[in-house]
Structure 1
Amino acid sequence: MTSYTLIYNPEAGRKGASAVAEHMASRIKAAGHTALLQPTKAPGDATDLAFHAKSEVVVAIGGDGTINQVAGGLVKRRTPPRLGIIPQGTVNNLAKVLHIPLMPDLALVNLLEGTPHDLDIGIVNDRVMISTLTLGVLANAAVSVSQKDKQRFGPIVYLTRGLHSLSRNQHWHLKITGNGTTWERNTSFLLVTMTNSVGGFRNFAPQAKPDDGLFHVFVAPKPTLGGFLLMLPYFLTGNFAKLPGMTYFAADSLTIENKTPNTKLKSRIDGDPSVGLPLRMQVISGKVQVLTKPVEPLGEKLGKLAQATPPAPKA
């Protein structure tokens, strides 16, 4: 028998998170385990509930923001419980990367039958990061995206708002230092990711893995009027890595400074407004473990299917 604590925001998902949490608790108990429902009541509650949870598994029911808060409580513990995820967000970057089904009942199977796998946690000043950090036009564009917009249009709304922000030709002078690499010049946006899914698009950083111990850093060139038009297809496909002039490097620690005179610049972490610059970032590996089921390679699936299929009768 395994004990589970289910943390959720009862106001999230058009107040549907409560129904999902109660259904999950019922199913967990029917499987012979224990489940404790822990709804949040105020900002920061999810972190506190995760920090004080007495169960063997702490389950985040929600999107990347909820998972971020729960992970923030777990990473502070000397020996944290395992992390479980029932996706209920709009984008669900981390769930997609971990191949956790987006339908609650299927995600529950993953939760009950999955095994622990290391999950990197980023520390940004005093905040936690599980997926992405943005600065510049991407962060500014996200500010204008409401929860209703996300639910109605999905991830594409971030790209359209980003294009609008790029058309204003905004740029900032940044200095980025990590693992002996220093980058300093003007940029329109900076993206730091810990996974290969950004804004719901899975082709941003194929080399990024949730347990590789690295931040994957993408710094875009300062746009020109003609360059903006060239950027269009890369934004529409989410294929930032192949944007002409893009700077990319990976590091397990970063310092990001704003060198633009008389300006302030704030980050967005996992889709939510966060701390201002300067940023000091570090990856914590091997402390938090998330329950996932390994994805069976297609070749192995086909092989098993072939073995299970009887030969056709001879004519």
Structure 2
Amino acid sequence: MTKKARLIYNPVSGHEQMPKNVADILDVLEQAGYEASAFRTTPEKKSAQNEATRAAEAGFDLLVAAGGDGTINEVVNGIAFLDERPKMAIIPAGTTNDYARALGIPRDSILEAAKIILQKKTRKMDIGMADFSGDEQYFVNIAACGSLTELTYGVPSEVKSALGYAAYLIKGAEMLPHLTENEMRLTYDDGVYEGKLSMLLLGMTNTIGGFEQIMPDAQLSDGLFQLIIVKPSDPGKLLKLMALALNGRHTDDPDIIYTKTKSLKVDLIGKSKGQELPVNLDGEIGDYCPVTFKNLQQRIEFYVGKSGK
């Protein structure tokens, strides 16, 4: 029986380069032995996610998510909850493309990214699940919350390109006067942290915002999150921590807890109760605390490049 592949692409990603590449991508999929077709996402909410679910339930063997990190996240959310899940491939056409970087997928050529499928190298990858009191959402790269979270996603891509990690320090200095601390209880495999914090990061890969040193021990298939808890600190110390983190020298700092865990329960306590604290999943707001995270080990099989960890 011929295998079927469905390309799910965002037409406005990558400076609207995707539509002109669709025919060539479908040709690559045919070369790989798939009967290929395409779906162009619409502005409708969860367009890519709903199509991913439909295609999976229709028996497609491969879903190719083409677009930015948001499109990839939607396709993952469309299949992660299913008992039978197709393989996935990704074609990065966004600004950061963190997950493509982690999987060793070319980020400078849409067609070269598609040709990774011809190498026939796949790997089963961990998927993160965030349970917001029964509303389950999924992520492939990072979950974050706390007042410093905006730093991870608030720097425009053109500024990052021009200034590198200095852009984050500039953004951090801009944010410092407005930072708040949240009193929280975090329950993870090795213990409980209860008290104020500036930010927590729960990572699936070693790449955040284009930087590869923030989660230095990350593995993609070991069933473990990388957990970073940033304790409260004075503004000068926070700037120092940012500089250390962007260069991978932060994990032994006494104001940071860095560990691995299969799960994490996040609760607001004390004066924070009644306040809404958003949780960011792969760069977008998922929902609000409380939340319980679980690592779904080797949940989805992805095509990877030679350097995919």
What is the aligned partner in structure 1 of residue 139 from structure 2? 129
Q: State the shift of 1:93 in Å.
A: 1.3
> Does the CA contact (< 8 Å) of 2:8 and 2:41 recur in 1?
yes
> Does the CA contact (< 8 Å) of 1:137 and 1:165 recur in 2?
no
What is the aligned partner in structure 2 of residue 301 from structure 1? none
Q: State the shift of 1:180 in Å.
A: 5.0
What is the aligned partner in structure 2 of residue 302 from structure 1? none
SS of equivalent residue, structure 1 residue 86: strand
What is the aligned partner in structure 1 of residue 276 from structure 2? 264
CA distance in 1, matches of 2:89, 2:267: 35
SS of equivalent residue, structure 1 residue 227: helix
CA distance in 2, matches of 1:90, 1:294: 22
What is the aligned partner in structure 2 of residue 150 from structure 1? 157
CA distance in 1, matches of 2:172, 2:261: 26
Q: State the shift of 1:44 in Å.
A: 0.8
Larger Rg: 1
What is the aligned partner in structure 2 of residue 282 from structure 1? 294
Q: TM-score, normalised by structure 1?
A: 0.84
Question: Are 1:78 and 2:79 matched, yes or no?
Answer: no
Q: State the shift of 1:63 in Å.
A: 2.2
Residue 231 of structure 1 is aligned with which of 241, 245, 254? 241
Q: State the shift of 1:70 in Å.
A: 0.8
SS of equivalent residue, structure 1 residue 137: coil
SS of equivalent residue, structure 1 residue 241: coil
Structure 1 letter corresponding to 2:146: G
CA distance in 2, matches of 1:180, 1:188: 20
Question: Are 1:99 and 2:104 matched, yes or no?
Answer: yes
> Does the CA contact (< 8 Å) of 2:64 and 2:90 recur in 1?
yes
What is the aligned partner in structure 1 of residue 63 from structure 2? 58
CA distance in 2, matches of 1:132, 1:163: 23
CA distance in 1, matches of 2:40, 2:115: 22
CA distance in 2, matches of 1:233, 1:180: 27
Q: State the shift of 1:295 in Å.
A: 3.8
CA distance in 1, matches of 2:239, 2:149: 20
CA 1:193–1:71 in 2, change beyond 3 Å: closer, same or farther? Answer: same
Identity score, percent = 26
> Does the CA contact (< 8 Å) of 1:201 and 1:238 recur in 2?
no
What is the aligned partner in structure 2 of residue 305 from structure 1? none
SS of equivalent residue, structure 2 residue 105: coil
Question: Are 1:210 and 2:217 matched, yes or no?
Answer: no
SS of equivalent residue, structure 1 residue 50: helix
Question: Are 1:108 and 2:120 matched, yes or no?
Answer: no
SS of equivalent residue, structure 1 residue 94: helix
CA 1:160–1:18 in 2, change beyond 3 Å: closer, same or farther? Answer: farther
Equivalent pairs, count: 294
What is the aligned partner in structure 2 of residue 48 from structure 1? 50
What is the aligned partner in structure 1 of residue 149 from structure 2? 139
| RMSD, aligned CA | 2.5
Q: State the shift of 1:209 in Å.
A: 0.9
> Does the CA contact (< 8 Å) of 1:178 and 1:251 recur in 2?
yes
Deviation string, structure 1 residues 272-291 (Cα, Å, up to 9, x no partner)? 11110001111112331111
Residue 253 of structure 1 is aligned with which of 248, 263, 281? 263
> Does the CA contact (< 8 Å) of 1:123 and 1:282 recur in 2?
yes
CA distance in 1, matches of 2:129, 2:99: 16
> Does the CA contact (< 8 Å) of 1:22 and 1:37 recur in 2?
no
Q: State the shift of 1:90 in Å.
A: 1.3
Q: State the shift of 1:25 in Å.
A: 1.6
Q: 253-262 vs 135-144, which deviates more? A: 135-144
Q: TM-score, normalised by structure 2?
A: 0.85
> Does the CA contact (< 8 Å) of 1:268 and 1:274 recur in 2?
yes
Structure 1: state its 5+ residue gaps: 298-315
> Does the CA contact (< 8 Å) of 1:169 and 1:224 recur in 2?
no
What is the aligned partner in structure 2 of residue 87 from structure 1? 92
Structure 2 letter corresponding to 1:248: Y
CA distance in 2, matches of 1:276, 1:223: 24
